[in-house]
A and B are shown apart, each in its own frame.
Chain A
Amino acid sequence: MKIYNKLDDNINYFDTIFDNCNDIVRRKVPIGASLQRFAYIVYIDGLVDRQLIEDRILTQTMASAQRLPEQFFNEPLSLLETLKEGGLTTADLKEEKDLEAAAKAILTGDVAVFVDGADTAIIVSAKGFPNRGVNEASIEVVVQGSNEAFSDVMRINTALLRKRVRDTKLKVKQSIVGRRTQTNIALCYLDDVVRPAVLEEVEKRLANIDIDGILDAGALEELIEEDFSSPFPQCQITERPDKAASGILEGRIAILVDNSPTAILVPCTMNSLFQASEDYSQGWEIMSFVRILRFAAAFFALALPGLYIAITTFHPNMLPTVLAFKMAAARENIPLPAVMEVVMMEFAFELLREAGLRLPRPIGSSIGIIGGIIVGEAAVQAGIVSPIVVIVVALTGIASFAIPNYSLVSGFRLSKFLIIGLSAVLGILGFWMALIIILIHLASLKSFGLPYLFPFAAGEINGFSDFKDTIFRAPIIFMKKRPIYANPEQCDRQVVNHLGNWHKEE
Chain B
Amino acid sequence: MFALNNKISLRQVQALLFLEIFGFGVTALPRRTAEHAAQDGWIGVIIAVVAAVLLVILITFIIKANIGQTFYDYTKRLFGRFLASFFCLLLSARFILLAAFYLRLFAEITQSIMLPTTPYIVIFIAVLALAAYGASKGIEARGRLAELLIIIVLLPLIFVFGISSREIDFSNLLPMMSASPSQIGKAGYYAFFSFGGMETLLLISPFLARKKGVAKSAIGTIAVMGGFMVIITAVTIARFGAQNVVAHNWPVLKMMDTISLPGSIIDRQGALIMTFWIISAYAIINAALFFSSLLLKDVAKKGKHIHYILLCVPIIAIIANIPNNIDQVYSWFNLYNKTFGITTMVGLPVLIFIVQLIRRGRDRVAKQDVNS
Contact = CB atoms under 8 A, between A and B. Distances in A.
Direct contact of A and B (CB under 8 A): yes
A314 B110 CA distance: 13
A432 interface: yes
A439 B19 CA distance: 15
A317 B144 contact: no
Interface of B: 1-3, 9, 11-12, 110, 114-115, 118, 122-123, 126-127, 130, 133-134, 137-138, 140-145, 147-149, 264-272, 274-275, 278-279, 282
Contact of B1 (A318, A429, A448, A459): A448
A198 B144 contact: no
A482 interface: no
Contacts of A428: 114, 271-272, 274
Given A314-B271, A453-B144, A429 B114 contact: yes
Contacts of B118: 426
Interface string A303-327: 0000000110011011111001000
Nearest to B145: A443
A201 B9 CA distance: 24
A456 interface: yes
A318 B275 CA distance: 14
A456 B110 CA distance: 30
A315 B267 CA distance: 11
B2 A450 contact: yes
Contacts of A451: 2-3, 140, 144
A324 B134 CA distance: 36
* Most chain A CB within a 10 A radius of its CB, from B11, B115, B270: B115
Contacts of A324: 267
A318 B270 contact: yes
A320 B265 CA distance: 6
A318 B122 CA distance: 24
Interface of B is mostly: helix
B2 A318 contact: no
Contact of B126 (A195, A318, A426, A456): A426
B330 to A, nearest CB: 22
B279 A427 contact: no
Contacts of B282: 436
A430 B126 contact: yes
B150 to A, nearest CB: 10
Contacts of B143: 457-458
Interface size class, chain A: 35 or more
A461 interface: yes
Contact of A318 (B12, B115, B149, B267): B267
B2 A453 contact: no
Interface of A is mostly: helix
A335 interface: no
Contact of A443 (B2, B130, B148): B148
A410 interface: no
Nearest to A459: B147
B278 A436 contact: yes
B130 A449 contact: no
Nearest to B130: A433
* Most chain B CB within a 10 A radius of its CB, from A320, A443, A456: A443
A139 interface: no
A143 interface: no
A429 B268 contact: no
Given A195-B1, A426-B126, A428-B274, A319 B267 contact: yes
B139 to A, nearest CB: 11
B126 A429 contact: yes
A456 B271 contact: no
A429 B278 contact: yes
A35 B292 CA distance: 88
A440 interface: yes
A429 B115 CA distance: 9
B126 A458 contact: no
Interface string A144-156: 0000000000000
Given A320-B264, A429-B278, A456-B147, 20 more contacts: A310-B271, A314-B114, A314-B271, A315-B114, A315-B270, A315-B271, A318-B266, A319-B267, A321-B267, A426-B115, A426-B118, A429-B126, A429-B274, A436-B149, A443-B141, A443-B148, A444-B141, A449-B2, A458-B143, A484-B2
A209 interface: no
Contact of B114 (A321, A427, A449, A456): A427
A459 B278 CA distance: 25
Contact of B11 (A315, A317, A432, A460): A460
A286 interface: no
Interface in A431-486: 432-433, 436-437, 439-440, 443-444, 448-451, 453-454, 456-461, 484
Contact of B137 (A315, A318, A443, A461): A443
Given A443-B148, A451-B144, A433 B266 contact: no
Given A426-B126, A437-B130, A317 B1 contact: no
A427 B126 CA distance: 12
A159 interface: no
B147 to A, nearest CB: 4
B267 A444 contact: no
A429 B2 contact: no
Contacts of A450: 1-2
A370 interface: no
A460 B278 CA distance: 27
Contacts of B145: 439-440, 443, 457
25 contacts: A195-B1, A317-B268, A318-B267, A318-B269, A319-B266, A320-B267, A428-B271, A428-B272, A429-B110, A429-B274, A430-B126, A433-B278, A436-B278, A436-B282, A437-B130, A440-B145, A443-B148, A449-B1, A449-B2, A450-B1, A451-B2, A456-B147, A457-B145, A458-B144, A484-B2
A259 B115 CA distance: 56
A317 B141 contact: no
* Most chain A CB within a 10 A radius of its CB, from B11, B118, B144, B268: B144
A310 B148 CA distance: 23
B134 to A, nearest CB: 5
Given A439-B145, A453-B144, A460-B9, A311 B271 contact: yes
A444 B286 CA distance: 15
A197 interface: yes
A446 to B, nearest CB: 8
A456 B270 contact: no
Interface in A309-364: 310-311, 314-315, 317-321, 324
A184 to B, nearest CB: 26
Interface string A64-100: 0000000000000000000000000000000000000
Contacts of B12: 458
Nearest to B11: A460
* Most chain B CB within a 10 A radius of its CB, from A430, A439, A440: A440
Nearest to A462: B2
Contacts of A318: 266-272
Contacts of A319: 266-267
Contacts of B147: 456-459
A486 to B, nearest CB: 11
Nearest to A464: B11
